[in-house]
Amino acid sequence: MDDSARQDDLAAVASIADPQRRALFEFVARHPDPVGRDDAAGALGMARGTAAFHLDRLVEAGLLVAEFQRRNGRSGPGAGRPAKLYSAVPGEIAVSVPERHYDLAAELLSRAVEESDRTGAPIRPTLERVSASLGRALGAASDSMDEVLERLGYAPVDDGADGLLLTNCPFHRVATNHTATICGANAALLRGAVEGLDDRRCSAVLEPRDGYCCVRLAARQQM
C-alpha cells in the first residue's frame, strides 16, 4: 500500500470513530439499495439533522457515495424535490499499525500453490522461488533498497555495522504461527529485491532475533 492510499484509509477509519457515525455507516452498508436520511435517522433513533451531518461526513471520507433520486418515481413540475440517498462505496479498507501486508503473504502462497500443483515441485522451495521473483520485480521497479523497505513497511534501523535491522515484519502474525515457511519466503523476497536493484552494497541474511524481523540487511565487504 503506498503512503497516499494508507493515509486515505487511516482518515476513513478515523471518520467512523464516532459511535453515531459508525452506526450510520453500518446501517447503510447492510442495505443493498440506497438509504435516505429519514430512513437512517428513524432506524437509529437520531434527529434527521444529526443523521444528515454524519452521512455527509462519511461521503467526504470516501466511505459512502451520495445521489439524488425522486423516490416516488414522478418527474417534472409538482414531482417534489429529489431525496439525497446514500450507498456504501464498493471495496474494503485495511489499516494496521504497525504496517502489515497479509495480502502480499496470501498472494505469494497462492502463486506457490498453483505453481506447485502445475509442476509437482515441493511447496516450500516453490514459495521461496516465487517470493524471490516478486522481490526482483519490486527491486527493478524501485530506485533504492530504502524505497522497497518503506513500501513494504519493514521500518529499518541502523544495526551499528553499516547494515540494517528491520523493526517490523509485514507478515508478523503469519510468521508467528508458521515461522520457518514465512521467514524463508521473507528472506527470498528481500534477496530478490537486492538482485533486482543490483545493489552490491548489501545482502539479505536470514538472522532471526527477538524484537526484529527475521531478515537483516548486512553490509557486504567491498573489494
For the chain, which residues make up each domain, given as ranges? 3-88, 102-219
Angle at 160 between CA 155 and CA 164, to 5 degrees: 30
Cβ atoms of residues 170 and 101 within 8 Å: yes
Grid cell of 149 as nine digits? 523497505
First to last CA, the chain: 37
pLDDT on residue 223 = 44
Strand partners, 23: none
pLDDT on residue 49 = 93
CA distance 175 to 108: 13
CA distance 181 to 189: 12
What is 102-219's CATH topology? Muramoyl-pentapeptide Carboxypeptidase; domain 2 (3.30.1380)
| pLDDT at residue 3 greater than cutoff 70 | no
pLDDT digits (tens, 9 = 90+) for 158-205: 988 888 999 999 999 899 999 999 999 999 999 999 999 998 889 999
Helices (H), 16-67: 19-29, 37-44, 48-60
Which residue type sits at 165?
L
Any idea which residue has 476513513 for its cell?
12
Please compute the mean of the pLDDT values over residues 145-157 and round it to a whole number. 90
On average, the pLDDT of the chain sits at 86
Angle between helix 37-44 and 48-60 (nearest 10):
120
pLDDT on residue 89 = 85
Q: Which of 39-43, 72-76, 81-85, 183-187 has the lowest mean pLDDT?
A: 72-76
pLDDT on residue 115 = 96
Percent over 90 (pLDDT), the chain = 58
Please compute the mean of the pLDDT values over residues 8-18 and round it to a whole number. 61
For residue 100, the 8-state DSSP code is: -
Cβ atoms of residues 100 and 171 within 8 Å: yes
CA distance 155 to 167: 5
Percent over 70 (pLDDT), the chain = 83
**Whole-model pTM?**
0.64
**Architecture in CATH for domain 3-88:** Orthogonal Bundle (1.10)
Question: Between these two residues, 45 and 211, which has the higher pLDDT value?
Answer: 45
pLDDT digits (tens, 9 = 90+) for 88-131: 888 666 555 567 888 899 999 999 999 999 999 999 999 999 99
Grid cell of 211 as nine digits? 524484537
